[in-house]
Each structure stands twice: as C-alpha cells, then as structure tokens.
Amino acid sequence: EIVLTQSPGTLSLSPGERATLSCRTSQTVSNNYLVWYQQKPGQAPRLLIYDTFSRATGIPDRFSGSGSGTDFTLTISRLEPEDFAVYYCQLFGSSPPWTFGQGTKVEIK
C-alpha cells in the first residue's frame, strides 16, 4: 500500500499570497494518477486536479498541479477568500486501496 504524506499540516497565509502544498508518496509513482480535492467545513469534497496536472471542470486557473516520482504539488497562485479550506491528495496506483493523504489546512493568517 502506498502511503501519501501531505505537508505542511497547516498553512497560514493571507489573501493574495501564493500557496504551495506538498504530497509525497511512499513509492515512486509510474503513472500520473495523482488527484487533489478541496473540502470546506460541512461540505463534501470537490475535485480540483486529476492526473497530476489537469484542472477539473469549472476550477479557476489559479489552481495548478505538478510533480512526478514521489513528489507532487498543488499551487494556488493567489489565494482568494473562498480558497481557505482543507486540501487532500489521492493516488490511484495500480491496485487498491486508493488512499488519501491526511490533508493540509489552508487558513487565514
């Protein structure tokens, strides 16, 4: 089972700043099936990025995904007030379980 480790646990930033969230896998990933979700309190998760780089429908271009091997990144270029939330990565490896990372909370500084 591949373990996903997200860092930092909490990111304290101001609106307009750049956010860089990390997701590290315990094994080298040979495909690009790395996914990012956003979750706000009391809401279901929302798909942001799939296949490492691709934005989901309706996701603003300030969100971008990158990475390969064992290191993947979600970047929010300029934080908007609605971006303060918890972000999860998930990897679809060759076999289940398709686990999530533990999450990174982006909070207002």
Q: Which residues bind other proteins (CB under 8 A)?
A: 1, 33, 35, 37, 39, 44-47, 50-51, 56-57, 86, 88, 90, 92, 96-103
Output the smallest distance, CB 83 to other proteins, in A.
Answer: 18
Given the complex with other proteins, which of 46 and 62 has the nearer CB atom? 46
Closest CB to other proteins among residues 13, 56: 56
Is the CB of 2 or the CB of 17 nearer to other proteins? 2
CB 97 → other proteins: shortest distance, Å?
A: 5
Buried b (16+ CB within 10 A) or exposed e, 69-108: eeebbbebeebeeebbbbbbbbbbbeeeeebbbebbbbee
Q: Which residue number, 84 or 104, has a Cβ lying nearer to other proteins?
A: 104
What is the smallest separation between the CB atom of 58 and other proteins, expressed in angstroms? 10
Which letter, b or e, does each residue of 31-42 get, where b requires 16 or more Cβ atoms within 10 Å of its Cβ?
ebebbbbbeeee
Quick count: other Cβ atoms within 10 Å of Cβ 25? Answer: 21
What does the block give as tokens for 5?
A: 């480790």
